[in-house]
Structure 1
Amino acid sequence: MSDLTHFDEEGASRMVDVGGKEITARVAVAESFVTMKAETRKLILDREISKGDVLEIARIAGIMATKKTSDLIPLCHPLSINSVRLEFASLGETQIRIEATVKVDGKTGVEMEALTAVSVAALTMYDMCKAVDRGMSLGPTQLVEKSGGKSGHYLRESD
């Protein structure tokens, strides 16, 4: 069990002690995708969904979720986030890509915060559009890139 940092030698859960780690600049980029009917994508982009501007509400939801990650993921450390940026890109006729970039100067990374941001943004898009398209699908949701800390730089290889 000792190879898994969230468990002690006896297998009990623990929050990893980051007290002795150096403070470094850390960045994580995550992405998720929402696939929908072409008509739904058009309604979103034209800001014609009755509940409001889907992308802006999803952006705010993702930012708020970033700040709440340690409340949602049991062993995550609360972090003082430097910045969060969510961007949306329309892909083809039926998909929107969500990308979050999260930055912190800290002793632990922000991968979970970036993944939480895109996950909650995707869920918010679904919630706002479910009345017109219950068949939407979410994902994949994945880490794209991270930097900082002892493990160094990670960049997801293209499929």
Structure 2
Amino acid sequence: MKSSYSAGLLGGITLVGIFLIIIFSTNIFNYRIVIEKDRQNQTKIESELKRQIYEELKRDKIVLTPQEYTNNIVNYYNTAFLILSAMLIVFSFISYFHLKFLSDEHLRKRMKSEEFQEIIKQSIFGRAEEKFLKKEYEDKIRQDMIKISERIENLELIVELEDDEEETGEIL
């Protein structure tokens, strides 16, 4: 179990490392963002060269309006949230099936052990023996009750005969 935990931890760290390498190896963070504060700046640019450079930067999305900048930031965090959610789901499924496999394997080993088999046998035989003993004991009690009721009937007959003898004075 300890090796499984360490293997899972190593796999998770490896995946996160690969993810970070991919993110930082791309040129996502290689440019500087300039936020256009005001659209009136376009009219204030005097030279044609500056205007062309400005238009080129705007076309390449290096110069952004505040709305574009906010939209980019929101999209970035939405994407990060989506990736983290997907990783959570994937790791949850992997963990579920791995734990299910481990528990099934552990149960199979446990069920095949002689100790487990002995416990099951004792439990089954104990319950069966308990029920059979109760049944035998119950039958014995019924037989004893029948014998006692027969004795009571015999005693009642004897008492009746003695009462009859006393009344009639005859001895049977």
Superposition TM-score tier, normalisation by shorter sequence: under 0.3
Q: Of the two, which has the highest radius of gyration?
A: 2
* TM-score w.r.t. length of structure 1: 0.23
Larger strand share, 1 or 2: 1
